[in-house]
Amino acid sequence: MKVQFFLHLFLALFFMFFVLLAQCKTHPTDIQGLQHLKNGINPNSISSGSCLSSWSFSIDPCDNIFSDRFTCGFRCDLIVSGFYRVTEISLDQAGYSGSLYMTNLPHLEVLDMSYNSLSGLIPHSLSNLTRLRRLSLSKNSFTGKIPSSIGSLLRLQELFLDNNNLTGSIPRSFNGLVNLNRLELQHNNITGDLPVLYQLRNLFFLDLSDNRITGNFFPSRFSKSIIELSLRNNYLRGEFPLNVGELKFLQVLDLSHNLLSGIILSVLFSHSSLQQLTLSYNNFTLLQMPKDLSYRNNKLIAIDLSYNNLHGFLPAFMASMPNLSALNLEHNKFSGMIPTQYAVKVVVPRNNTSSFERLLLGGNYLFGPIPGPLLGLKPGSVNVSLVDNCLYICPNTLYICHGGNQKSFLDCKKFRPMIP
């Protein structure tokens, strides 16, 4: 009799379990995953009206999404066996603090916890999210090393770990992220040599700026697919490599605030796709002039070579670049007279060419008179600065002379230009 009683009780409980399960639209594993995520957040940081404040697990999450209980923060999709699975978690920027506690959410494709105050280590358990396409932990306070296990997320297309306090080097396992389009690691404390990422053949955008990365800049370290490359404010050394032209799709290159030296190569000015070139705050000493007219077919819009040790005459060929509208050569050691071509490009550019909307030449050793076309410029028309040079006369009545005096006669006389 007792055996029969317990058998009937077991069958009754088993039946009730499946009845309840049939009424639940969210897969039990995913409910548990959402609970664990919320449990990792400091309750005191969950403010009224935020997404997490509406997560109440007394009801079915996916069945009540966008109701007064689950107002926002995740997405569900009907995938298999009649269950809804959590496919996206995108929390609001509500200042959540605490840690990131992730359990298995096997159908999660997007995880976005950016612009909050989460801290601690990035968990290795993220590697269980094998369907993840986008991972964004930007603007938090995560510390420690980047988990090498992230390199196993083969479907990942976008990875944002920028603006944290991450240390250590970039894991070599990242070369396994063959579908990655965008990688942003800027504003951390990442160290080590510039990584080798040439296997990432679908990588278009890479930002490693504002870290402590060392080594030489070698284009061969990156895939030829790269379009935007920012390595600003690191500790890169050495001279500019000749094979930069191999990055044939490159449109934006920012190597400013590093320790690069030597010659700025002419290949940069004849590059077929480059639009923005920023090499300011380095130790370059010489600018190589192109030997042919290939620079007239380039797409450069903005060039910033300021705060280097460049010497010689101002590069007149830049006035012939058809799309160039912003040129910053401030705080170098250029000498000689201002080319008339510069003034013409400011005031009356040729047909099918852009005019100079920004021309900054201050802080050099330019001498002689100001070119006539610049004398008629009116404030607010274009941004031109000629301060801190050795010009014959640059009165305050001209707005292009505002913001600083010319160098003293003695300083200009002491200067000895280097002949390239």
Residue 3 lies in a domain: no
Residue 11 lies in a domain: no
Read off the pLDDT band of 94 (50, 70, 90): very high
What digits encode the pLDDT tens for the residues 234-267? 999 999 888 888 999 999 999 999 999 999 999 9
- Which pLDDT score is estimated for 83? 86
Residue 42 lies in a domain: no
Residue 262 lies in a domain: yes
What digits encode the pLDDT tens for the residues 331-363? 999 999 999 999 999 988 777 889 999 999 999
CATH label of the domain that carries residue 105: 3.80.10.10
Residue 52 lies in a domain: no
What digits encode the pLDDT tens for the residues 20-72? 344 568 999 999 999 999 999 999 999 999 999 999 999 999 999 888 889 99
Q: Is the pLDDT of residue 81 over 50?
A: yes
- Which pLDDT score is estimated for 420? 59
Residue 63 lies in a domain: no
What digits encode the pLDDT tens for the residues 391-411? 988 888 889 998 889 999 999
Residue 249 lies in a domain: yes
Read off the pLDDT band of 12 (50, 70, 90): very low
Residue 65 lies in a domain: no
Q: Which domain holds residue 311?
A: 72-413
Total domains in the chain come to 1
What's the whole-model pTM score? 0.90
Read off the pLDDT band of 121 (50, 70, 90): very high
- Which pLDDT score is estimated for 419? 64
246-250 long-range contacts, CB within 8 A, separation 24+: 246/219, 246/220, 247/219, 247/222, 248/224, 248/272, 248/273, 249/224, 249/225, 249/273, 250/226, 250/274
